[in-house]
Structure formats: structure tokens, C-alpha cells
Amino acid sequence: MTQALEGIRVIDFTHDQAGPSCTQMLAWLGADVIKIENPKGGDRARRLWNSDNPDLDSFFFLLLNSNKRSTVIDLKSADGKEIARRLIKEADVVAENLGPGVMDRLGLGWDAVKELNPRAVFASVKGFGSYGPYSGFKCFEPVAQATSGAMSVTGEAGGTPLVNGANNGDSGTGMHLAMAILAALVQRGRTGKGQLVEVAMQEAVLNLTRVKFTGTLATGEPLRRSGNRSPTGGYSDLIRCAPSKPEGGGVDDYIYIIVPPDNPEMFHAAMDVIGRPELKEDERFKTPAARAKNAAALTEVLESWTLSRNKHDVMKAFAGRGMVCGAVLDTAEVLQDPHLRERGTIVDLDHPTRGRFSTIISPLRLSDSPVTPRRAPLFGEHTEEVLRSLAGYTAEDVAALRRKGVVTQG
């Protein structure tokens, strides 16, 4: 069975997370993604968050670069630039998230790419875009959250703004870029021409945050942080549960519950589950507005039942009655979650230096294009393979380039 993007070739100049998360999604969908790395250690993600063994590729890198091939080229050399140009001529997509102006200074920017290969889609991640007052500024994940409004609506009521734990600025931008690339490839099918596609991190997070602007558009006032409580008039809160692990209670022994204002049946179901049906008519909780006003009291009522049960049992009991709820799973629990394991979202892979480890693969499910997960490449693992098969070099040519330090074979 073929994959959806089989036959699409991506020359990948990305690093860290925003760009690699995009090209990884394309690789999961079947594209041949050739990761271009520099001879001085390659993608810096290979060394990030690597406190357990600094001599090995970090799990941070392994989580973002599965299903790709690695080619190590010195792009600052004339020979390296020639290799890159040859690869670009064979590309459907050229992806980059280097600093502002870096690709142009290498002679590999959009203007150069469209001359080399008019059919290529040139895909670029920038912190604030390629024009505008902030275009020259650097941007990391928390900065994208800060400047998009996302941080201002995250945190406890009356508390300080907080960075969201999900990487909306990096991986969120990568998903937006993957969508733009696919749209450009569809359009190329009609026109025969590639184009420049760009996603700014600030704007990607803004798009993910846009519904939070509803109240501001209505009143002109900024939305204030509300922590775990619903800002829409319904009831939601984090409910404490009994310890779920034999060694005792953890910081994540909670379940999150939502009772929407337009679905009172969920409140009735909750009262039935905890054996307090009489509270359905209690004036403190009878209406959505009353439940929102008396949220602390309702949480106390629920905890009188949940504190004697672990979060997994509580989730099954409430969700089994049609309620919207979820146990707070820590990262170790997620990796062992039976639901994600059965669906194949969490799988185990073998790695030459890391051994067998758990990893996370594509959340996309295409019936005719299943994902076959492959480990992330070793540094320069595919250099000779790529140069000989795509760039027209012989084994002797590659050996000579290696001796000159232009390329590195892992």
C-alpha cells in the first residue's frame, strides 16, 4: 500500500522544533525527507535536553525527526553549496527555519530556488515573518505565546501569565506550515509552478488562540485569566482524586470535568454517579449561572466522592455516563496509556545507540496511507546514499568530498 505523499521529495534545512515538526509530518505521510545538517554537530536538537547521556542523540531530537534521512554538508563551502543546488533541483519542497536572511546569504533563498527549480515549494518558518516591524527579531516558543495573546489568557485568576505546556509556538507553527505546503503542492498540480509559503510563529499561535478574542471583540476589554474555571458561564474545574500509584499520591492525581452551560444533563449525570441526586434541585447548582457562581462549592461536593477513588476509575465512571472529563495523565502515564498504545500513537522503536524506546507518531489516520514509523537518522547516516542517488556523485566523488571536510558520513 502506497502512502499519500509517496514520490514527494523534501530538502529539509530546518532545525530545533518548528521546522522539524513540519517535515516530520510530511515524512509520516510518505514524503522522502532529506535532512541537511552542518558538520559541526548538525541539528542543535541532537544535544538539547540531553542530560542523561550527552554523547548520544537526545530524545528531543528522536521525537522530532523520525522517518527522515540525514545528510551532512558544509553549506559554507563552494562544494557544499553545489551539492545543495543539485539536491534542490530534485526537490518538490525546500523547507527552512534558519535565522532571518541566512538562506539568502547562503545563496539558497527563495529567489535562488525558483531559478534552480521553478516547481519547488519554498517553505519558511520565521518568528515574526519576513516583513513588518518585528521581522528582524528572533523568536522562541515562549515569545510566540507572549506576543500572540496566548500567555495573557493562561494562568490562575489574578495570577501571573504562564507559558502553556503544549508547544503551540513551535509544533503548532510546524503544523500550519505543513498545511500550507500541501496546499501549494495541490496548486502546483494545476499551475505547474512552485511558490513561497511562510508561517510566522506569532501568527500561528494567534490563530490557535483566536476564540479567546470573542469577549474583547464584544466589549473592547481584554480577556482575563480564569485558571481551570470556565470563562463561558459553565462549570469546569480540576477535581482531586485518591492516589493512583501504590507509592502514594502524586501531583497529577486529578480529573478535569466540564459541564457546559447548554448541557444540564451532564450535571444531572454527575449527581447520579456520586449518589447525590437530590442536589439536582439545589438552588446553588440548579442553573448554569448558579453552578458558575458556586463553582467552589460544587467542586467540594464532587471531591467528597472522588477523593476515595483514583482518577482512572473516576474518569470511567463519569465518562461512562456521557460526561466530558479526563484524568490528568503525567508524561510517564501517557507513554503507557492503553488507549494510545492500541491506536498505535505510542510505539516502541529500536535505535542503534539508544536501544529500544517509546516514541510518539502521527495523529493523522488515513485509511489508504498508514504510517510505518522509522527511527530518527544518525548524524550523516545517509550522506553517501543521497549524494549518489540524487546529486549524481560517484563513490569516489563522495570520498573526496569527505576528505575535504565538505560532507560527513555517519
The amino acid that residue 17 corresponds to is Q
Closest by Cα among 14, 36, 45 to 123: 14
Place of cell 545517509: 382
Of these residues, 170, 252, 313, 368, which one is catalytic?
170
Round to whole Å and give the CA distance between 131 and 106. Answer: 20
C-alpha cell at 146: 507572549
Instruction: Enumerate residues 6+ apart whose C-beta is below 8 A from 220.
Output: none
Phi then psi dihedrals of residue 383, to 5 deg = -55, -55
Specify whether the CB–CB gap between 223 and 216 falls below 8 A.
yes
Question: In a 10 Å sphere around its CB, with 0-12 CB exposed, 13-18 middle and 19+ buried, how is residue 185 labelled?
Answer: buried
Specify whether the CB–CB gap between 204 and 176 falls below 8 A.
yes
CB count in 10 Å sphere of residue 160: 9
- Catalytic site includes residue 170: yes
Strand ranges in 40-141 using DSSP code E only, listed in sequence order: 68-73, 93-96, 121-126
- Show which residues are catalytic: 170
